[in-house]
Amino acid sequence: MIVKMRRTATDNEIAAVETMLQDRGYTTGKLVGTDHTLIGVYGDVSQLSQPDVQKMSGVEGLIAISRKYKRAAQKGDPTNRLYVDFNIGSVRIGRDLVVVAGPCSVESERQIMESAEMVKDAGAQILRGGVHKYRSSPYSGWEGIGAGSDDALREGLESIVKAGRAFDMPVAVEILDHAAIPLYEDVGVDCLQIGEPNSRNTVLLNALRNSDLPVIHKRGNAVDCEDYLLWVERMMTCGKENIVLCERGIGSANKYTRNTLDLGTVAAFHYQLTGLPVAVDASHGCGIRDLVHPLTVASVFAGASVLLLEAHPNPLIAKSDGFQALFPEQLANLVQAAQQAHKLRQDVEHLYVPSRVLESDYESRVETDRERLFAE
């Protein structure tokens, strides 16, 4: 259940509601929005006297949540959807379009420094790059500059953080092992990325509950969209909310592209299921360099506010995933196209009308319309 506080509710009134609920054995979580504060109530709310809560000073109303993923669920209504926003470093996530770009992996200090300059020049806001790469086969080759030892992992992380700082950009880096979280925090990484293979790594997800770092969590390629939100919910159970959902393609009968980019789920996340920011990684979603541009632009219209893009100073010599990495010119053009697409989406979004806004009127006309349209 969600307790929606009035726009005029004071800090003391909000605290009083939280205290009352906690005294009755419920766990609470607070979401402070631009206009309203929402208090999540977790536990068996069937035993809670809702009139006792409703009559408290500052309370506007109670919102029932029927979905299993209570914290990740959309907490508004169709006419007033509520979205979470937060910072990755100095970059605000969840409001305007944000592009996270860089090479698949950090290959050398010079390579990541040139990559950072390329990303900055293209107009992207966050630098990405893997230091220890997940590989399903021991024969796949390059596993990252930090794969050899703890010292190598630290040196690789320091290289990308240094590059990000040189060009005034936060950095997002994939993490494979829960034990490495303190190292990532200590070195100065601004955002942790959970790759597809670790999307259901219970130990890692549980450990991230206690990290203040934002997380970009990639959906597993065979995970239903609502099951995926339950895995995200695992990180949120202690109040963590700075999580970006990421669609990166699912398995399907199609073999031409590396994966099948599920833009229907992107739209479902943004318009119906959740208030968390939604990212799309079209690089992994298709695995074909020349298809990344159109799929990324399409993802903006579907509801994505964060874009993950792989790019390299020269993809033809990249040590990993060069076949899907953009050339610098392609990256710059795509960032510009995505920004224009996002502006257009904002201009036309008022034309989107949720069915629930119209259903009551049409329900009242069912019998009349049935007689009018089908009577012989």
How many domains are contained in the chain?
Answer: 2
Rounded CA-CA distance 151/220 in Å is: 30
pLDDT tens-place string over residues 188-202: 999 999 999 999 999
pLDDT tens-place string over residues 5-26: 888 899 999 999 999 999 988 8
Sign (positive/negative) of CA torsion 232, 307, 192, 83? negative
**What CATH code is carried by the domain that includes residue 19?**
3.30.70.1140
**Integer-rounded Cα radius of gyration of the chain:** 23
| Mean predicted confidence (pLDDT) in 199-219 | 97
Rounded CA-CA distance 85/244 in Å is: 10
If you write DSSP's letter for every residue of 145-164 in order, what string do you get? TTSS-HHHHHHHHHHHHHHH
Tell whether 117 and 43 lie within a shared domain: no
Under 8 Å CB-to-CB from 326, ≥6 apart: which residues? 283, 289, 292, 309, 310, 311, 312, 315, 334
Note whether residue 374 is domain-resident: no
Q: Residue 42 pLDDT more than 90?
A: no
The pLDDT mean for the chain works out to 93
Unique residue bearing structure tokens 């080759």: 141
| Mean predicted confidence (pLDDT) in 42-67 | 83
pLDDT band at 66 (very low <50, low <70, confident <90, very high): low
Note whether residue 376 is domain-resident: no
* Contact (Cβ atoms closer than 8 angstroms) between residue 18 and residue 31: no
Tell whether 106 and 208 lie within a shared domain: yes
Note whether residue 78 is domain-resident: no
Tell whether 140 and 253 lie within a shared domain: yes
Rounded CA-CA distance 9/17 in Å is: 11
Tell whether 302 and 269 lie within a shared domain: yes
pLDDT tens-place string over residues 75-119: 888 788 889 999 999 999 998 999 999 999 999 999 999 999 999
Query: What is the pLDDT, as a whole number, of residue 252?
Result: 95
Tell whether 115 and 218 lie within a shared domain: yes
Q: Residue 266 is which amino acid?
A: V
Q: Residue 292 is which amino acid?
A: V
- State what percent of residues in the chain have pLDDT above 90: 75
pLDDT tens-place string over residues 115-162: 999 999 999 999 999 999 887 777 777 788 999 899 999 999 999 999
Total Cβ atoms within 10 A of residue 309: 27
What angle (nearest 5°) sits at the alpha carbon of residue 125, between those of residues 173 and 343?
Answer: 130
Here the contacts of 95-99 (C-beta below 8 Å, separation 24 or greater) are: 95/305, 96/305, 96/342, 97/300, 97/305, 97/306, 97/307, 97/338, 97/339, 97/342, 98/125, 98/126, 98/305, 98/306, 98/307, 99/123, 99/124, 99/125, 99/126, 99/306, 99/307, 99/309, 99/335, 99/338
- State what percent of residues in the chain have pLDDT above 70: 99
Q: What DSSP state is assigned to residue 69?
A: -
Rounded CA-CA distance 100/126 in Å is: 5
Note whether residue 268 is domain-resident: yes
Query: What is the pLDDT, as a whole number, of residue 36?
Result: 81
**What CATH code is carried by the domain that includes residue 168?**
3.20.20.70
Tell whether 292 and 205 lie within a shared domain: yes
Rounded CA-CA distance 175/53 in Å is: 42
pLDDT tens-place string over residues 336-371: 999 999 999 999 999 999 998 898 898 899 889 989
Tell whether 56 and 107 lie within a shared domain: no
| Mean predicted confidence (pLDDT) in 212-221 | 97
Tell whether 47 and 159 lie within a shared domain: no
Note whether residue 137 is domain-resident: yes
| Residue 147: domain span | 86-350
Q: Residue 31 pLDDT more than 80?
A: no
Residue, of 79 and 243, whose pLDDT is higher:
243
| Mean predicted confidence (pLDDT) in 227-251 | 95
Which of 260, 163, 365 minimizes the C-alpha distance to 172? Answer: 163
Tell whether 165 and 95 lie within a shared domain: yes
Rounded CA-CA distance 306/314 in Å is: 24
Q: pTM score, two decimals?
A: 0.84
Query: What is the pLDDT, as a whole number, of residue 70?
Result: 84
Query: What is the pLDDT, as a whole number, of residue 287?
Result: 96
Total Cβ atoms within 10 A of residue 238: 12
Rounded CA-CA distance 375/22 in Å is: 59
Note whether residue 72 is domain-resident: no
Tell whether 120 and 50 lie within a shared domain: no
Tell whether 172 and 213 lie within a shared domain: yes
Tell whether 57 and 95 lie within a shared domain: no
Note whether residue 146 is domain-resident: yes
Note whether residue 14 is domain-resident: yes
